[in-house]
Structure 1
Amino acid sequence: MDPIRGLGDIVRLGQSHPSVVLPGMSDEQRIRATYDQVAHKYHRELGAELDGKPLDRALLDAVAELCQDEPLVDLGCGPGHVTAYLAERHTGVTGIDLSPEMIRIARIENPGVEFRVESMLDLSAGDASWGGIIAFYSIIHLTPRQRVQAIQEMSRVLQPSGWLLLSFHINDEDFKAGDVNHLTEWFGHDVDIDGYFIDPDEITKHMDEAGMSVVASTIRQPNPDVEYPSRRCYLLGQKK
């Protein structure tokens, strides 16, 4: 899920009861509540984003092929549009997200695909269960310590020689790698959430320490016509 960009008007998909951001919430509770509130706008604005992102499609196609018939998981799947793209190219695809409202929308939009509500910091899957993980912008709300924990957890559930494709924001005109963009208003809602700009060397180091080798890396320049104008990194790792 990409938290940086402002989105369009709300879409109603049946009745729901999104969470509300309240003082004293934990980091995960604030992330969950924020995405519950903005889920419909997010879905409306970003549901077709892959149409304008040929590099993203090519990388997703590559991971789907590399994973062959092994389970492939879209971690931080949001409303499920990337999961749906993968499911057209690979059997055994599952979408996982922290936000129940995002998962509710994903299930409505993609009834033939499996979706689950879980935290990437404490996945229910057993060791060496998955052949591949897609994590597009899924770590950008995590503190540095939580990023280490998340990458270790991803490595735990990957099979030997399994694949991980990560993406994240590096910097933009106002923020450099290592900076934090604290949001208090988003899509007309009062929120309390941090978005991190991340140094690729940091994530490469964490992946290596978690038993994964980075086999390919790409830095993409801003594409303001289709997304928030930040420099972005894609890292493709393989479990040792």
Structure 2
Amino acid sequence: MIEAEDVSVTRTAYDGVAELYTGLVREQLLANPYDRAVLGVFAESVLESEHADAPAAEVGCGPGRITDHLRRAGLDIFGLDLSPEMIRLARLEYPGLRFEVGSMERLELADAALGSIVAWYSIIHLPPARVPAVLAEFARVLRPGGHALFAFQAADGVTGVQPYDHKVTTSYRWAPDTLAEALAACGFRVTARMQRLARPDERTPQGYVLAVKDDAANPAH
């Protein structure tokens, strides 16, 4: 399959800022109780589910800090990222964890291979028209009843998607309700959505959506 030009641009951009980015975000969770709370709810939900022992994946893991946080919370999780340099640094930072280079648009995983999946600010660089296909790909690799978590810069207003002047490369802000609608169309049942105000070190409100793959949904192909 021919790779879209924006994918190459995003990979190159993150390769170029990988070391700077790793330093900037290394201790970020310590100062952000909202992120810790959302990750905690997600981890607890997974561990209380029938898929507690199933593999989990962070898709778009960057230097691995969220993967590590969730592993310490009890998940059997590995990280996947488009940027080879991010993966190199993740392996250095967390040598006991598994990290692989890969694309969220073509996950090299079997149907129903995962019990849970995390996309922590990783769908933001995808053109909105391609996001439904990625959500369908997530549904394909998740087991029925498997949990999914998304974090993203939130759009102004109740619905919609807006371009965002991201410091690394082209990005899009999603209203939580709009992402929830897209998830529902791909076989997910949304269990929670939240939008919070920007903190002093942030330029936009932030959004979170948690969802479960519907037991009746068939894997998407």
Please indicate the TM-score interval, normalised by the length of the shorter structure: 0.7 to 0.9
Instruction: Quickly say closer, same or farther: Cα 1:221–1:236, change in 2 above 3 A.
Output: same
Count of paired positions:
205
Q: Is the 8 A contact 1:219 1:234 kept in 2?
A: yes
Show the counterpart of 1:153. Answer: 137
Contact 2:152 2:174 in 1 (8 A): yes
CA–CA distance in structure 2, aligned partners of residues 34 and 166 of structure 1: 22
Does residue 211 of the first structure (1) align with residue 187 of the second (2)? Answer: yes
Deviation at 1:131, TM superposition (A): 0.8
C-alpha RMSD over aligned residues: 1.9
Task: Tell me, yes or no, if the aligned pair for 1:64 and 1:72 is still in contact at 8 Å.
Answer: no
The alpha-carbon deviation at position 64 of structure 1 amounts to 2.0
**Helix, strand or coil for the counterpart of 2:17?**
helix
Q: What is the distance in 1 between the residues matched to 2:43 and 2:160? A: 30
Report how far residue 83 of structure 1 moved: 0.8
The answer to whether the Cα contact below 8 Å between 1:63 and 1:132 also exists between their aligned partners in 2 is no
Structure showing the higher helix proportion among its residues: 2
Which deviations, in whole Å up to 9, do the C-alpha atoms of 1:170-202 show, x marking residues without a partner?
A: 237xxx95321356xx5xxxx7x3111112222
AA aligned to 2:208 is: Y
Give the structure 2 partner of residue 60 of structure 1. 39
Match of 1:130 in 2: 114
Task: Find out whether 1:118 has 2:102 as its counterpart.
Answer: yes
| Distance of 1:170 and 1:64 partners within structure 2 | 22
Please tell me whether the aligned partners of residues 50 and 57 of structure 1 are also in contact (alpha carbons under 8 angstroms): yes
**What SS does structure 1 have at the residue aligned with 2:96?**
coil
Give CA deviations for 1:133-184 in whole Å, capped at 9, x if unaligned. Answer: 1111111111112111111111111110000010111237xxx95321356x
**Does the alignment pair 1:80 with 2:54?**
no
Tell me which amino acid in the other structure corresponds to 1:144: P
1:18 is aligned to none
1:48 aligned partner: 27
What secondary structure, in the 3-state scheme, does the structure 2 residue paired with 1:213 have? strand
1:195 maps to which of 148, 171, 174:
171
Q: Percent of counterpart pairs with the same letter?
A: 37
Task: Find the partner of 1:140 among 105, 124, 137.
Answer: 124
Please state if 1:232 is matched with 2:206.
yes
TM-score, length basis structure 2: 0.87
Gaps of 5+ in 1: 1-24
1:81 Cα offset (Å): 0.7
Distance 1:207 1:171 in 2: 17
